[in-house]
Amino acid sequence: MTAMALESPQLQEELLRLRHENESMRRRLTSLLVPPSGPPPVNHEIHLNDARKELQGFERAMVVKAEENEGLKRLVEEGNRQNEVMKRQLEEAKRMQVEKDGELLDLRAKVAEHGSLISRNDFLERTATNMQRKIEELEGHEGTARSETERLKRELGAAAQEIKDLRQFTVRVKELQDSYERVSKELVEAKASLLAASSRNETLAKALGQLESRRRVLEDEYEHAKQRLAEQDAALMQAREAAGRSQRLAERVEKLEEALRDRETSEAHMKQVIASMRQECQQHAQTRQELERNLSQAKQRLEDQDARTRKVQEERDLVRKDAENWRLQTEAARRENESVVHERSKLQDYVAKLSDKMEKLVEDAHNREKVSEHSNTIIARMP
C-alpha cells in the first residue's frame, strides 16, 4: 500500500511541479547573482535586494520541502499499519484454509470407516468362534465335517491375522494424521512469515530508493547554494571596496553581512539534515540486509517444509493404497464369510438329515429287538 501511495499520479505531479519550481528558482538566482554590466550603485542595490528576496523564497521552499518529507514519512507509517492489517487478514485466511482442508477430512473419514470395519470384524470373529464351537459338536456325527472344520479353522486364523494387521494399520493412520496436521501448521506459519518479510522488504526498498533520490537532490541544491554564496561573497567584497564612497553603502553592506550570516546558519542546518538523512539511509540499508537474511532463512524453511510435505504426501498415497487393498480384502472376506455361512447352513441340513436317519435306524433296531424277543418268546412257548 505504501508503494502504491508513493507512486500515485497526484504525488508524481506534485514532485514534478516542485522540480520545475526549483529549476526556475535556480535560473532566477543565477541570473540575479551574475554581476551587472554597468557599475551604477542604484542597479547594484536593486540587485542585492532581489537576491535577498530570492534567498528568502529559497528558504521558504526548503521549509515546504521539509514539510513534504514529514508527509512522506507519515505515508510510510500509514502504509506499514496497512501492511500489518493485511498480514492479519492473510493469517486469518490461511487459518480458514487449514480448517477447510478437504484431504484431511477425507483421511479422518477413512479412519472412521476403518474403525467400523474393526467393529464388524470383531463381530465376525465372535460369529466364527460360535461357528467353531458348533462345528466341534458336529465333528462326532460325520467324518466329512472334519475337513470342513479344518478349513474353517484356517480361515479363522487368517481372519484373526487380518484383524491384527487392521489394528496396526489404524495406529499407523493416526500417526500419519498427526504428522500431516503438524506439517500443515508449520507450512502455513512459514508461508505467512515469508509473505510478511517480502512485503516489508519491498516497501523498505522503495522508501530507501526515494530517500536516496531526495538526498541527491538536496546535495545538488546544497552545492548550488554554496556556489551562490561564493558569488555573493565576491559581490560583498566589491560592496566593501565601494563602502568608502558613502555611509548608505556601508549600511547596505552590514545588512548583506547579516543576511550572509543567516545563510551560513541555514547552510549548517542543511548539513545537519543531510547528515541525519545519510544516517537514516545507512539504517535502512542495515534493515534491508537483515530482511534479506530473514527472507533467505524463510525460503530455506519453506523448502524444508515442502520436502516434508512431499514426504507426507507420499506416505498418504501409500495409506490410500493400503486402505484400498484392505477394502478389497474386506470385501473378499465378506464374500468368503457369506459362502461359509451358506456352507454351514448346508452342513446343518445334512447333519439334521443324518440325525433323522440315525433316529430311524435306532428305532428300526429297537423294533427288530422287540420282534426278535417276541419271536424268541413264541419259539420258547412252542411244544
Give, as one character, the DSSP assignment of residue 243.
G
Determine the residue type at 144. T
Determine the residue type at 317. D
Give CA–CA dist 197/293, Å, rounded. Answer: 10
Instruction: Name 33's Cβ contacts closer than 8 Å, sequence gap at least 6.
Output: 51, 228, 231, 232, 235
On whether the CB atoms of residues 207 and 2 are closer than 8 A, the answer is yes
Give, as one character, the DSSP assignment of residue 36.
P
Give CA–CA dist 47/58, Å, rounded. Answer: 16
- Domain range summary for the chain, segments of one domain joined by +: 2-381
Per-residue pLDDT for the chain (383 aa), expressed as one digit of tens each? 444 444 456 666 766 776 676 677 667 656 655 554 444 444 545 555 666 666 666 667 667 766 766 766 676 677 667 767 767 776 776 676 676 666 666 666 665 665 565 666 666 667 666 666 765 665 555 556 556 556 666 766 666 676 676 667 667 767 766 766 776 677 677 667 667 666 666 766 676 666 667 667 766 766 776 676 666 666 656 655 654 555 665 566 577 677 777 767 766 777 777 777 778 767 777 877 887 787 778 778 878 877 887 887 787 788 778 778 878 887 877 787 787 777 777 777 766 777 777 777 777 777 777 766 766 676 666 55
Given CA atoms 86, 88, 89, 91 in this order, what sign does their dihedral have?
positive
